[in-house]
Amino acid sequence: MSNWPAETKVIGQSTPRIDGAVKVTGKARYSSDIQAVGWLYGMILRSKWPAAKISSVNLDKARQIPGIKAAVPVRDGAFTIRYYGEEIAAVCGTSKQACLDALRAIEVVADVKHEFVVNEREALKENSARVWDSGPNAPANPRPRENGNVDKAFSECDAVIEGFYSTPVQIHNPMETMGNTVSWTEEGLTAWSSTQGISSVRDGLAGALKLDHSKVRVITEYMGGGFGAKFGAGVEGVLAAKLSKEAKAPVRLMLTRFDQALAVGNRPSSFQKIKIGAKADGTLHAFEGENYGTAGIGAGGDSGGGGGGADIPMPYIYKVPNTRVKQSEVAVNAGAARAFRAPGHPPGSYGMESAMDDLAAKLGMDPLELRLKNDPHPIRQREYKLGAEKFGWREKYKKPGSSPGVVKTGIGCAGAAWPAGGGDRGTQGDAQINPDGTIEFRLGVQDIGTGTRTVIAVVAAELLGLKPEQITVRVGDTNFPPGPGSGGSTTAASVSPAVFDICQKALAQLQTQSGLADARGENWFAACKKLGVSPLVVHGQWQPNLSADRACGVQFAEVEVDTETGLVTLKKVVAVHDCGLIIDKLTLESQINGGVIMGMGYALYEERVMDDLSGVMLNPNFETYKLPGIADVPDIEVVLINMPERGVIGIGEPATVPTAGAIANAVFNAIGVRVGSLPITPAKILAALGKVPPAVSA
């Protein structure tokens, strides 16, 4: 049982963001809004070749462009380029145009290599170009993992299916691109970073620039999303710092959308071959999974809150007594992967949940029944039952492909597990209570956009008997007591217990100093007044028995598929989620809405397209890297299970895990054939329906 109060007044309610007004009125200063005195624009020159040996970078002509104040190479001496878009040099100046002109004036002497490979299947071939000189693109013998006796088990099954399911590389595209404003002077370095980890950026910059930690301060007042890509300062942060030092002025270097698409992280692809077998009653008995995917030139060093590797959990949330899993990663000449909202899980869920529905069809079973039969987790069992009722599963379900007419309807569901989501034990914070009753919390955490300030205010208001708007919250500064990186869905579970501890200590101290038996609520101002002239400052930290990890979650999707145009319309999603004690229902629902929309983009629209011949990414923009728009977004119904006894658990990641699997299954249910590849585009629907003629050779 958790130590949270049994009865709550503020916790669990729908509290609007305490910083909502400043955000919608434009008063909130995001990293890309920072205008330090005398600041300069910074920009990066990127490789236009997918593979090259750079022997020299001459910046002299760039420095002579009017308005240019500094230019720096990404490294001294010769170096190797391994993908299109890799950084070569950077410039800063008084206008964007000056920087653009300067980038074009940089002279790069390069030995351009024509041997490169940008697509996974090509990279696996024996005669493929090598991304790294040191060895082949993929390990020769993938690591196999076997439990039980798989071959024997398959022969004991009554139904066996084999399927191939693939997912594309998904690009990190937060609303605010990556970037920093950096001021590096004799006194030290200040970075206004768009980051989800101010401490990790501070440590990273200090390490890269050989500075004492005490000389580096990172500030992130507001930032526009990170999703796993923004734990480090990145190459762009280090370049901004070097430019600032050389130019003796603050440098703002925010990436463009084009930059963002190439070099700062993505979700690895997956190519999953899955074989499952079950007994006649649906009990899973044997599983064999082979998967490979690409993390580009490798998993990025900036992954922070989770791996950026290509492995996925198999057989995902199910326990199968006999399993064999082989996974490998293949390198290609493309930007490296980074942690991406629930690394490994959306592709893991999509592949396994697709296979489950294919198996259900073979068994002639309702796929929800197959899940209830096999899902070992009691919380998901509850969620499936609750969700099925809200969604109307039993009324809506019909056999795959049995929907009549040209526009067919279908439904599907899928489940999620997220192994993290618990708190960071190192989280600390301060509160200053003034004699006039005002109170300010200072935590060295950042608000990645999920409403961390509001979570802190809600917890404090609850424990102090105040209203959330009476609490001032300051976050996003490494001068405050240290907080966690916002990754692994840990933030709420980290700060809530720390604030709990601060409040308990504040109340105890106030009681002592004021002589009042209870300083909360209506006694608050009287108690504070007794402080006299000195504010009370208390320090607190994360405490046990207030948070937990491992959230579940299931989602149901309903689609319409136009079998003549191939267009999939997502009509409805019911998202059933648990995350322990609900702190703020409103920001929680927002995160789930966002997770569903992101999952929808993964299912239907998003895909990095690489060109074999030129080695470039063809869609580094929102015109052809397609994201869901408001006209695409369905009716989303969020159903929450409040479990105060578990304490606080993060929700950010599980919310996006099952969406793609549920949508893919709904499409299968509608048209009766499997589109085994994301995104599910009109072209793939028409192909699956056997309507596409062969190509005519030119």
Q: Which chain residues interact with other proteins by CB under 8 A?
A: 48, 84, 97, 100, 564-567, 569, 604-605, 609, 611-614, 616, 618-619, 623-624, 626, 628-632, 681-683, 686-687, 691-696, 698
Per the omega criterion (within 30 degrees of 0), is the bond before 376 cis? Answer: no
Token duo for residue 229: 């890509």
d(CA 660, CA 351): 9
Closest CA to 71 of 42, 49, 38: 42
Token duo for residue 375: 């899902």
Token duo for residue 274: 């899955």
End-to-end CA distance of the chain: 70
d(CA 538, CA 510): 10
Pairing mode, strands 216-219 and 143-147: unpaired
CB 344 within 8 A of CB 313: yes
485 residue type, one letter? G
CB 163 within 8 A of CB 274: yes
632 exposed, middle or buried (CB, 10 Å; 0-12, 13-18, 19+)?
Answer: middle
Q: 442-479: b or e for each residue (b if 16 or more CB lie within 10 Å)?
A: bbbbbbbbbbbbbbbbbbbbbbbbbebeebbbbbbbbe
Greatest CA span in the chain, whole angstroms?
91
Residue with token string 């709550």: 8
For the packed helices 367-374 and 378-391, what is the interaxial angle rounded to 10 degrees?
Answer: 160
What stretch of H or E contains 430?
strand 428-433
Contacts of 26 (CB under 8 A, 6+ apart): none
Pairing mode, strands 251-254 and 40-46: parallel
CA of 440: how far to CAs of 163, 445, 502, 538, in Å? 56, 15, 11, 11
Q: CB 478 → other proteins: shortest distance, Å?
A: 37
- E-only strand ranges, 40-178: 40-46, 52-58, 68-73, 79-81, 87-93, 107-112, 143-147, 159-167, 170-171
Contacts of 112 (CB under 8 A, 6+ apart): 49, 51, 52
Let me know how many helices (H) and strands (E) the chain has, helices first. 18, 25
DSSP per residue over 12-43, as a string?
A: TS-PPPTTHHHHHTT-S-BGGG---TT-EEEE
Q: How many CB atoms lie within 10 A of CB 589?
A: 20
Give the rounded distance of the alpha carbon of 667 from its chain centre: 25
Sheet with 40-46, edge to edge strand ranges: 68-73, 87-93, 40-46, 251-254, 179-185, 188-193, 216-219
DSSP per residue over 42-61, as a string?
A: EEEEE-SSSSEEEEEEE-HH
d(CA 394, CA 407): 21
Q: CB 144 → other proteins: shortest distance, Å?
A: 35
Give the rounded distance of the alpha carbon of 584 from its chain centre: 21
Per the omega criterion (within 30 degrees of 0), is the bond before 315 cis? Answer: yes
Token duo for residue 82: 């391994």
Token duo for residue 650: 């993060």
